[in-house]
Amino acid sequence: MSDEPREPLELGDLPDPEDQEAVKLFARSFNGYSHFGSFKRASEEANAERRKTIVDLRNELFMAYRTGNHLGDHDFTCKAYSVLYPHFRRLLGNN
C-alpha cells in the first residue's frame, strides 16, 4: 500500500470548492476501499483525520462523498471539501 496516489496530484488539479460537480468528480477519483483494502479500514483512516498526506485527504473526501450519497445529502461532499481544501493546498505547497 502506497502513501501517495499513483498519479501525482498538482495544485491545478484541485477543483474550485464552489463547483459541486467538479468536487464530486474529484472525490470519486480516489477509491479508499481499494486503496486500504476494505470499507472498515478506509473508514477508520478517514475518521482519524490525520491530514498529513494527500492520501489521508483524498480518502477522507472519498468517505465524505460515500456518506453524502448514503444520506442523500448532495452538499455533504462539498462541505467536507471546504474543510479539506486548505490542507490540500498546504500539502501541495501553496498555503
> Domain extents for the chain?
17-91
> Which residue ranges in the chain fall short of pLDDT 70?
1-7, 94-95
Q: For position 95, what pLDDT does the model report?
A: 55
Checking 51-56 for CB contacts under 8 A at 24+ apart, the result is 51/84, 51/87, 53/3, 53/4, 53/91, 54/4, 54/5, 54/9, 54/88, 54/91, 54/92, 55/2, 55/3, 55/4, 55/5, 55/30
Q: pTM of the prediction?
A: 0.89
